[in-house]
Structure 1
Amino acid sequence: MHTAISPSSFERRLLCYGSYFAEKDLPDVTSIYADEGTLLHKVMEQISTKGKYDEDIILTSEQQEIIEYTIKLLDKYNGNSFFNYYEYEVDLSFLGIDMKGTCDRVILEPSFYDSNANEYTKPVLHIIDYKFGKGIKVDVKNNYQLALYAMGTLKEFHDHEYFYDADINNNGFREVKVVLHIVQPYLNNYQTIELSSSDYLFNIDFYVNIIKKCLDENAIRTPNEKACRFCKAKINCPALKNIIPTNFEINKSDEELKIILDNKNLIINYLKSLEEHIKNRIEEGEKFKGYTIRKKNTNRTWNKDAYEVLTSILQDDAFEKKLIGITKAERLIGKEIINTITEKKEGEYELVNDNLENEKIISEFKIEI
């Protein structure tokens, strides 16, 4: 079980202090998407440490491609001069609460003499996080999960042979370069950002202050799209229920309609979570008036005998030749070539919020220390 305040949940706590007590005693929930992510993280760890993954693990061809792409992307960090740590557990108790986290990959890179600059470079700490989701693009800028991993690692390796002679900065860490990596292969999203360990993102006082606010039993709940997205308490959150309209009649005032539109994604997410909640209750044997559950219709798929049967009857006609998808092609040959052979047709009109400030979420959050 994840700790109630953890690197992965910190952004939610930052956006809604009251979410800590709201979720603290609730069990973890899972999904087929989370299960796939867990599986692919396990495969990455096994390949990185053993050179192969367990024989009893069965991957689809798409999953195999994703794993190969991710490995190739980071292959340059496998040299003898790098210290690599996989599924590295960081201890963040120095922030005043029992907090731990597991970083997918940590790399320590030594300094070297730059003859052009006539000086030694700073040693480098790489923090790498795999995201195997297909829906929401994850950004590396102002990524508090990665920042917390970096802080725990900087504490742990304070006197490492690569770091021990670096000066100590105002954040209390060795003055090194920190490179944060987000690797989200399904969305062809690989982002990095280079920072100094003296950057505001690694300021201990900021995190301690947020944690103290979360530990206040009267901490306010502030529903918003990002904070509520993965919150386990949203079904019974009174603050969120105040936003959900009791009806959607079209004869509401423009002000009332605008409130509904402004919170469209929040409302949709709430309804999806409500549906999942009721489905789980029925699966566990409860009755819910007016609703039952049934198996979804699924598409037919070829079984293990299909290849042999079809090729024996149809020979070459058993196969179709068609171009691979754009996302897959971009992973293989890069954006530069793809941009020359793709086009975007003009789309239909869609309704958008003309106040762009409403769309700026955590990436524009101003840290106050």
Structure 2
Amino acid sequence: MGEHALLSASSSSRWLVCTPSARMEEKLTDTTSPYAEEGTRAHALAEQWLKEYVATGYLDEGTLAMDAHDTDGEMMEAVRRYVDIVIEKINEARTVSPDAEVHIEYHLDYSPWAPEGFGTGDTVIVSDHYIEIVDLKYGKGVPVSAVGNTQMRFYALGAHNAFGICYGYDNVKMTIVQPRLDSVSTDEISIAELLAWGTQIRPIAQQAWDGKGAPVAGVHCRFCRCRTTCRALADYMLSSVKKDFAPGAELEDWEISDIILKAKEIKSWLKDIEDYALSEALSGTTWPGLKVVEGISRRKITDEDKAASILQLNGYEHDTVYKPRELKTITELEKLCGKKHFSELLKEFIEKPEGKPTLVSETDRREPMPLQDVADDFDDTLLEDFIQKGDKTL
């Protein structure tokens, strides 16, 4: 059994829809990223702290201080928020069920529902009243909901597989904590509902294990390793804007909306294709009609101190050689101090101006802007931006 299951819970939202994707991905090398490595460090820190709490009943502030030497402030603060939430849930479970079990980074086997399926539950709490799975998502790119989340349901099935014979619980809770987005999402269903769902997806999981079925493209392709070579995804991307267009010389309003809604997804896919093609070309692949050339390069000074010294020795004043000192960005300073401490120190000096109007999907969680006075506030700026992008027709 490998380190990762072929039918992993984390990719289940993909292979439950596109059943051949798991076997297609199996042929490709699994790569990591700085974001994945950062998430691994955050999980390791959370595991250390929670195991200490489960073993001793408290968190040693001395240990936390030692960890601070090796971990940036933002990670320390984010992981501590997750740990505090888990501790609250542990105490809540032990209040209603004193013999409640708590397992950190626990191996979960859901193979009765997906062939050779297994994963790791960040925190698994089991009592006579309910099971709760708590998952840490350290990333801050996209909010993830626990409601109907297939990864969490597979973990719940794995927990029930491990503890169902020993406990008489009726419900399962599934909680996703994204501390850097201040997001906590929980879904609760009955064990009967969970098992019914497991029965429903079992044949789909078997089909995915066998590599059968037709590829199906969609939003679930975002992290698929096959996204740069998958024809189904290419067809989906290239046809998603054009296929339902109306006749006529001018675009309809709904067509413009459709283009805007798809633009970000298509841009991301195109960038992935370009990066893949370049990587393969550098490894010797010849692409029809393409060649590798040296890109635009900007000059840079290799030793700024020596360069400045030479200039000053030749009569150029200090102030004409150096820029004035610049304060680091807010993001950099938050990482330096930690968000909480940064806010305490500088809250009276931080302001957030109104953002420029942006078109997004109606499903976006942000409230619509009041448009009565927006035009007067932003017309000039938007016009300047439009002209700078090269349009001279206005």
User: Under a length normalisation based on structure 1, what TM-score does the superposition of the two structures give?
Assistant: 0.67
3-state SS, counterpart of residue 236 of structure 1:
coil
Correspondence 1:184 to 2:190: no
The residue number in structure 1 matching 2:319 is none
3-state SS, counterpart of residue 28 of structure 2:
coil
Higher mean alpha-carbon deviation, 50-59 vs 19-28, is at 50-59
The residue number in structure 1 matching 2:276 is 277
The residue number in structure 1 matching 2:390 is none
**1:115-126 pair list within 5 angstroms:** 123-126=129-132
Q: Is the 8 A contact 1:148 1:202 kept in 2?
A: no
Deviations for 1:238-268, whole angstroms, at most 9, x for unmatched residues? 111223449x99x997488776545323312
Higher mean alpha-carbon deviation, 191-200 vs 125-134, is at 191-200
**1:325-340 pair list within 5 angstroms:** none
3-state SS, counterpart of residue 86 of structure 1:
strand
The residue number in structure 1 matching 2:224 is 231
1:74 is aligned, of 86, 96, 114, to: 86
1:33 is aligned, of 32, 35, 47, to: 35
2:104 is aligned, of 86, 91, 100, to: 86
| Mapped partners of 2:249, 2:115: distance in 1 | 47
The residue number in structure 1 matching 2:165 is 159
Shift, 1:30, TM fit: 1.2
1:15 is aligned, of 11, 14, 17, to: 17
The residue number in structure 1 matching 2:48 is 46
Shift, 1:28, TM fit: 1.5
Q: Is the 8 A contact 1:282 1:292 kept in 2?
A: no
Shift, 1:73, TM fit: 2.0
Correspondence 1:196 to 2:190: yes
The residue type equivalent to 1:11 in the other structure is: S
3-state SS, counterpart of residue 133 of structure 2:
strand
Shift of the 352–59 alpha-carbon distance from structure 1 to 2, 3 Å rule, reads closer
For structure 1, the 5+ residue unaligned runs are: 111-122, 167-174, 298-318, 334-342, 360-369
The residue type equivalent to 1:68 in the other structure is: R
Shift of the 282–71 alpha-carbon distance from structure 1 to 2, 3 Å rule, reads farther
3-state SS, counterpart of residue 235 of structure 1:
coil
The residue number in structure 2 matching 1:214 is 208
Q: How many residues align?
A: 299
Shift, 1:274, TM fit: 2.5
For structure 2, the 5+ residue unaligned runs are: 53-58, 243-247, 300-326, 345-350, 365-394
3-state SS, counterpart of residue 199 of structure 1:
helix
| Mapped partners of 1:260, 1:56: distance in 2 | 46
Shift of the 244–7 alpha-carbon distance from structure 1 to 2, 3 Å rule, reads closer
Q: Is the 8 A contact 2:86 2:134 kept in 1?
A: no
Shift of the 105–273 alpha-carbon distance from structure 1 to 2, 3 Å rule, reads same
Q: Is the 8 A contact 1:92 1:99 kept in 2?
A: yes
Shift, 1:129, TM fit: 0.4
| Mapped partners of 2:164, 2:44: distance in 1 | 28
Higher mean alpha-carbon deviation, 31-40 vs 11-20, is at 11-20
Shift of the 204–194 alpha-carbon distance from structure 1 to 2, 3 Å rule, reads closer
Shift of the 106–279 alpha-carbon distance from structure 1 to 2, 3 Å rule, reads farther
Shift of the 31–286 alpha-carbon distance from structure 1 to 2, 3 Å rule, reads farther
Shift of the 132–284 alpha-carbon distance from structure 1 to 2, 3 Å rule, reads farther
**1:248-259 pair list within 5 angstroms:** 254=251
Larger Rg: 2
Shift of the 203–39 alpha-carbon distance from structure 1 to 2, 3 Å rule, reads same
The residue type equivalent to 2:70 in the other structure is: I
3-state SS, counterpart of residue 273 of structure 1:
helix
Deviations for 1:108-160, whole angstroms, at most 9, x for unmatched residues? 234xxxxxxxxxxxx12110100000111000100111111111111111222
| Mapped partners of 1:296, 1:32: distance in 2 | 26
